[in-house]
Amino acid sequence: DLKNISIYKSDKGEEIPWFPRHISELDQCSKCVTKYEPTTDPRHPGHGDATYIARRQFLNDQAVNFRHGDPIPYVEYTKEEHATWKAVYEKLKTLHESHTCLSYRKNLKMLEEEGVLTAEKIPQIVDVNKYLMRKTGFMLRPCSGLLSARDFLASLAYRVFQTTTYLRHHGSPHHSPEPDLVHELLGHVPMFSDPLIAQMSQDIGLMSLGATDDQIEKLATVYWFIIEFGLCREDGKLKAIGAGLLSAYGELMHACSDVPDHKEFDPRVTAVQTYEDSDYQPLYFVAHSLQDALIKLREYASSMPRSYGVIYDPLTQSVRLIKKV
Ligand code: H4B
């Protein structure tokens, strides 16, 4: 098992944790963390619902067996699942104009016009990928739940977004304690269609390759506050850019209201801010714009100490290490 063996040594002799050097090696980056499992955690709305648990397990087993290059499995969603999707979609729609950033509205509109995202049915990953490939080269691949930050971030380096394929519980359509299809497809996909968000995500991913645990923690925190829960200001109003907000009716309203604190996005500060993962955030970071967030993130990235350079080659979808003198 090569997974946890450190196989690189820098010139100074320090060990660099294993990381994928080619997109196919993401097959080894699917380690899940168990948190909010419906089998064991009473806070999960599916807790005690044997039918739901079996369905989630079935979809997760399918995802676990996926290998890079395989055709993406087709999933036959049930009537009930389509109905839950529709209820969430329509409710979120009522906040789009007032609470979401311009990029989200534009990209969602294009996705809707092409029939990729609609309230009527849960889309297939294959169809989403055709769209995303054309826009930013991002690609979804199925995964089986909440991944470790290290594995999740490594996939972003290759513009791969690991995506759950199960849906939240029908008894709690407007909130889910774990990532689900609504979060991935309605929250992330329109934003991964934006070239600036795509680049920011890949930058965070590339910085994570071979990083120390402490650096991973910092990068995961920046990711959390900008890609998941970030806000920006448009025409003087707070608007959501983060997928965690774009897929959660209640928190979207809360985040843009004057109840929580709002601080200017500054990766150095953001990276060490503690966050809440079981309730609404008490504090959100606000970027001036997506451009501004990307520039600040790149400055932060280049200041992170690392004894080697990483070069991503999109033609071979691989990463090369270069020595620093
Ligand atoms: N796993 C899945 N399946 N989906 C996600 O959106 C995330 C994940 N987000 N694991 C990750 C963790 C982030 O919250 C950071 C990088 O920890």
Task: For residue range 76-122, list pLDDT tens digits in order.
Answer: 999 999 999 999 999 999 999 999 999 999 999 999 999 999 999 99
Q: How far is CA 221 from CA 21, 112, 204, 315, in A?
A: 24, 31, 11, 30
CA–CA gap between residue 239 and residue 317 (Å, rounded): 34
Mean pLDDT value of segment 8-36: 84
Q: Tell whether ligand 1 has an atom less than 6 A from the beta carbon of residue 205.
A: no
| pLDDT of the residue at 2 | 39
Q: Which residues of 108-136 are buried (b: 16+ CB within 10 A; e: fewer)?
A: beebeeeebbeeeebbbbeebbebbeebb
Number of Cβ within a 10 Å radius of residue 96: 15
Q: Which of 262, 199, 203, 197 is nearest to 227 (CA)?
A: 197
CA–CA gap between residue 136 and residue 157 (Å, rounded): 13
Strands (E) across the chain are located at 8-9, 15-16, 139-142, 160-163, 231-234, 237-240, 261-264, 283-287, 308-313, 318-323
* Closest ligand 1 atom to 184 CA: 6
8 A C-beta contact, residue 216 and residue 150: yes
Beta bridge partners of 202: none
| pLDDT of the residue at 4 | 44
Q: How far is CA 121 from CA 83, 86, 112, 182, 286, in A?
A: 8, 7, 12, 12, 33
- Cα–ligand 1 centroid distance for 215 (angstroms): 16
User: Poorest-confidence range of 91-95, 160-164, 272-276, 290-294?
Assistant: 272-276
Question: Per the residue annotation, which of 103, 155, 188, 251 is the catalytic one?
Answer: 188
**195-208 vs 149-157: helix axis angle to the nearest 10?**
120
| pLDDT of the residue at 7 | 56
Percent of the chain residues past pLDDT 70, beyond the cut: 96
Query: Is 228 labeled as catalytic in the residue annotation?
Result: yes
Mean pLDDT value of segment 290-312: 89
8 A C-beta contact, residue 149 and residue 220: yes
The best mutation among 146, 181, 226 to test binding of ligand 1, ranked by most ligand atoms within 8 Å of the C-beta, falls on: 146
* Closest ligand 1 atom to 143 CA: 3
| pLDDT of the residue at 3 | 42
- Cα–ligand 1 centroid distance for 149 (angstroms): 6
| pLDDT of the residue at 45 | 87
CA–CA gap between residue 173 and residue 266 (Å, rounded): 33
Q: Which of 11, 9, 16 is nearest to 325 (CA)?
A: 11
Q: Tell whether ligand 1 has an atom less than 6 A from the beta carbon of residue 224.
A: yes
* Closest ligand 1 atom to 228 CA: 14
- Cα–ligand 1 centroid distance for 32 (angstroms): 10
Query: Is 183 labeled as catalytic in the residue annotation?
Result: yes
